[in-house]
Amino acid sequence: MADKTKDLKKKLFSQKKNGWDRVSAAESKKIDSYCKHYMAFLDAGKTERLCAAEAIRLAEKEGYVPYERGMALQSGDKVYVCNRGKGVMLAYLGNKTLEEGAQITAAHIDSPRLDLKPNPLYEDSELAYFKTHYYGGIRKYQWPTIPLELHGVVILADGTKKTVNIGGDAGDPKLVITDLLPHLGAEQNKKPLPEGISGEQLNLLLGSRPVGDEDEGQRVKLGVLQLLNEKYGITEDDFNSAELEAVPAVNATEIGLDRSLLGAYGHDDRVCAYAALQALFDLKETPEHTAVCVLADKEEIGSDGVTGMQSAAFDTFMEDLCAAQDVPLRACYEKSFCLSADVTAAYDPNFAEVFEKRNAALVSYGVGIAKYTGARGKGGASDADAETVGYVRQLFEANDVIWQIAELGKVDAGGGGTVAMYMANRNITTIDAGVPVLSMHAPFEVVSKLDCYETYKAMKAVYSDK
Ligand code: MN
Ligand code: MN
């Protein structure tokens, strides 16, 4: 009788289990090697510009060429377009025409960070600082007292573009935001967490050494500006036309005694971006449908703007590809499928109260499908239909992808969004799936190596579907 019950349970109950109990030793090796490359990708691309450049470098090595309007295209061709240095769209032309639709993956390569204000430089009490304006959903208290580095571009008065990198190279000095000593923290301690550190306190410490005549003021600021001028030709007004981003000065590293996890800045969403990219590169033969990989910018602030997923830049790219085959864009879209590849929250037993465990993504249970995101009554969600979930489920099973399906957290706890709705609004069948993340949006996020690899397998399955 007991055996019979066991059999019946096996037949009827969900059989999902920890991914490490499902992968072979050989597969485990593949996971490690994949993650090594992913870590290098993270270290090379800590901002959307650097990440786009790295993606293009890798793509060109794989035979992808810049697409130019009017270019004749045939199946097997590999092309890409870079959107203003901050986004990349790649296509591997399939055997079928675009009238049969494209198999698309869309991830984003921007991450929460601290941007410099347009007039950032000042001196206070003989210390020099940069004022910042945070980008994306950060928890402000997490950013002081960690080493930071600065990347971006400055357009000088004569139009010259200078690439800035302070702290990114070995041996470089880093920047930091200071915090209060606990001895004097009595009042600060009483504040609610979001107010403990204010936006106007997120000021980057730049230096303390005065230069020039003792009877002059602002000599520390002068010293800093002198160094910047020597290296980049910058004067104070040049910051007006600059885009400089402070990001954690920490490289990706293995986490845990068993090395099963990866810690890094910017897993959201470079962990899916890398999976989408590498899966495209690893297609062994020309795909049936055209495979498209989108690495978008501006997701963390709503996907608005010319480099965001709502931009017509994507439609232009697709329309150009369609035009080469005399296919109307709308005909392509309605037969296309998009996997909106973005991270989800991983269940954290340290904060169990915000999760609903039966519907939470678990670390190492594989790529996490999200039928919908949004907040409250699914507000702001692209709620994929059962047919789409059914399609993805079958696709993943057929390709041995370890997967799970989850919500972000408890219904009333909050919510979030992805690019899914912007793809779906284009009349493209879309669903979210990605890697579960611990400490999402923190300067140092954690993911499971296994989940990274399963997400890569998921992307490959999407591109190769016939
Ligand atoms: Mn994201
Ligand atoms: Mn995010």
Ligand closest to Cα of 418 equals: 1
36-63 burial by CB neighbour count: b if 16+ within 10 A, else e?
A: eebbebbbebbbbbbbbbbbbebbeebe
CA of 446 to the centre of ligand 2 (A): 13
CA of 216 to the centre of ligand 2 (A): 46
Question: Given a cut of 90, is residue 303 above it in pLDDT?
Answer: yes
Ligand closest to Cα of 271 equals: 1
- The confidence score (pLDDT) of residue 1 equals 67
Q: Residue 456's closest CA among 283, 264, 265?
A: 283
CA of 243 to the centre of ligand 2 (A): 20
- Is residue 380 within 8 Å of 373, Cβ to Cβ? yes
How sure is the predictor about 2, in pLDDT bands with cuts at 50, 70 and 90? Answer: confident
Ligand closest to Cα of 137 equals: 2
CA of 111 to the centre of ligand 2 (A): 7
How sure is the predictor about 381, in pLDDT bands with cuts at 50, 70 and 90? Answer: confident
Question: Given a cut of 80, is residue 379 above it in pLDDT?
Answer: yes
CA of 64 to the centre of ligand 2 (A): 28
Question: Given a cut of 80, is residue 402 above it in pLDDT?
Answer: yes
Full strand arrangement of the beta sheet holding 337-341: 65-66, 78-83, 87-92, 290-296, 102-108, 337-341, 429-434, 367-370, 403-405
CA of 218 to the centre of ligand 2 (A): 39
Task: Name the residues around ion ligand 1, CB cutoff 5 A.
Answer: 268-269, 342
- The confidence score (pLDDT) of residue 380 equals 85
CA of 267 to the centre of ligand 2 (A): 9
- 427-448 mean pLDDT: 98
Ligand closest to Cα of 434 equals: 1
Question: Given a cut of 70, is residue 106 above it in pLDDT?
Answer: yes
- The confidence score (pLDDT) of residue 416 equals 87
CA of 187 to the centre of ligand 2 (A): 31
Question: Given a cut of 90, is residue 214 above it in pLDDT?
Answer: yes
How do residues 121-135 score in pLDDT, each as one tens digit?
A: 999 999 999 999 999
- 270-278 mean pLDDT: 98
Distances (CA, A) of 3 to 6, 8, 12, 16: 5, 9, 14, 20
Helices (H) then strands (E): counts for the chain? 12, 22
